[in-house]
Amino acid sequence: MNSPEKKTLDRKTSFGATSKAIFWSFMGIRKSRDSKQDAERLNPFHVLIAALIGAALFITALIMVAKLAIKIVSAH
């Protein structure tokens, strides 16, 4: 009765849970078992949005650290 298309549309994981999974994936410490479960239950749209937000935050943090380092080095 349930078609494969229906299963992909029934993903009810919250955006918070998706964000948490993406964060741990960015850190590189996600268990393979959890990754497999994520592939089955996470909403792909949430994954895309969370990954874009995470990447933007990461890039912003790198820019801020680089500017701080340049400021410290140029002050001496």
Task: Read off the pTM.
Answer: 0.67
Query: What is d(CA 25, CA 30) in angstroms, rounded to the nearest whole number?
Result: 5
pLDDT tens across 38-60, in order?
Answer: 778 888 898 899 889 989 999 99
The mean pLDDT of the chain is 81
CB proximity list for 21: less than 8 A, separation 6 or greater: 30, 34, 38, 42, 47, 50
Identify the helix (H) or strand (E) that includes residue 76. none
Q: Six-digit token pair at 38? A: 């994520």
